Structure 1
Amino acid sequence: MKYYFSTTIKNESFDTVKEKVILALKKEGFGVLTNINIKQTFKKKLDVDFKPYEILGACNPDFAYKALQAEDKIGIMLPCNVIIEQDEDESITVAVVDPIASMGAVENPNLEGIAQEVQQKLKRIIDLLKN
């Protein structure tokens, strides 16, 4: 089972794509709670060079609340992760988690509808970035 949705963007800078991702997330009701800069972290902690790669922890408070009401330990699966990575050809790939794949492991039927709604929103974000 594929656990993410993605798109690749050419001829735009990493920072420009990141701004577009954040705007697309906002448009769908998500905020960015965390931003993990893998490139900087690996350089600082391991003294290794790595490609530009960031993990955004995105959260839609309404859906997070509903999910936590249905399953109080679901916070382990939150927030929804979005990655932005620069490829060897300088293009930028954006990938979002498929909440149906991740929440399917929980086996709580009360989460199915929530996961489907969040999946639709995250797919729309990828579609917005394609245009």
Structure 2
Amino acid sequence: MNYYFTTTTNGNFEEIEAKVTSLLKDENFGVLTQIDMQQTLKNKLNVDFKKYKILGACNPPFAYKALQAENKIGTMLPCNIIVQEIAPNKIEVSAINPLVSMKAVKNKQLEGIANEVSTKLENVIKNINNEK
């Protein structure tokens, strides 16, 4: 089992990023953080890097349930989704698979939560190539 779900699509980077954000919203996730790795690496290391953003997504009801079950689970929140340009107008979108990451935490209460969140994030990835 992979630690991520992924798909590749054709399109403009910014449009695909907006679509990912919209699909996350459809699954009741909000984007809490955005890390622009291209800009960060340029500013900090003066290196050129491809378009690559990390979106930190959160579904508050599931986050709350997880925090009630395991008070250190915040070290694994939010759920990260990456949007990266792998070639001109060829964008890869990947999301963490919480089922895999939660296996490191020995807490049975988290299994159901991780299963539901995994399904939602996999839906986002599966729907990237659908018209919306």
Tell me, in whole angstroms, the C-alpha distance in 1 between the residues paired with 2:103 and 2:114.
Answer: 9
Where in structure 2 are the equivalents of 1:28-47 lying within 5 Å?
28-47=27-46
Q: Could you tell me the TM-score, scaled by structure 1's length? A: 0.97
Match of 2:6 in 1: 6
Where in structure 2 are the equivalents of 1:3-82 lying within 5 Å?
3-10=3-10, 12-82=11-81
- Which stretches of structure 1, 4 residues or longer, exceed 6 Å deviation after superposition? none
The CA deviation at 1:90 is: 3.6
Q: Could you tell me the TM-score, scaled by structure 2's length? A: 0.96
Task: For residues 75-125 of structure 1, give each alpha carbon's deviation from its aligned partner in whole angstroms, at most 9, with x where no partner exists.
Answer: 000000000000035400000000011111011111000000000100111
The CA deviation at 1:57 is: 0.2
Tell me, in whole angstroms, the C-alpha distance in 1 between the residues paired with 2:20 and 2:59.
Answer: 14
Q: Which secondary structure state, in structure 1, belongs to the residue aligned with residue 114 of structure 2?
A: helix
Root-mean-square deviation (Å):
0.8
Q: Identity of paired residues, percent?
A: 55
Task: For residues 21-60 of structure 1, give each alpha carbon's deviation from its aligned partner in whole angstroms, at most 9, with x where no partner exists.
Answer: 0000000000000000000000000000000000000000
Tell me, in whole angstroms, the C-alpha distance in 2 between the residues paired with 1:78 and 1:84.
Answer: 18
Tell me, in whole angstroms, the C-alpha distance in 2 between the residues paired with 1:106 and 1:81.
Answer: 18
**Unaligned segments of structure 2, at least 5 residues:** none
Q: Which secondary structure state, in structure 2, belongs to the residue aligned with residue 130 of structure 1?
A: coil
Q: In structure 2, what residue type is equivalent to 1:2?
A: N
How many residues align structurally? 130
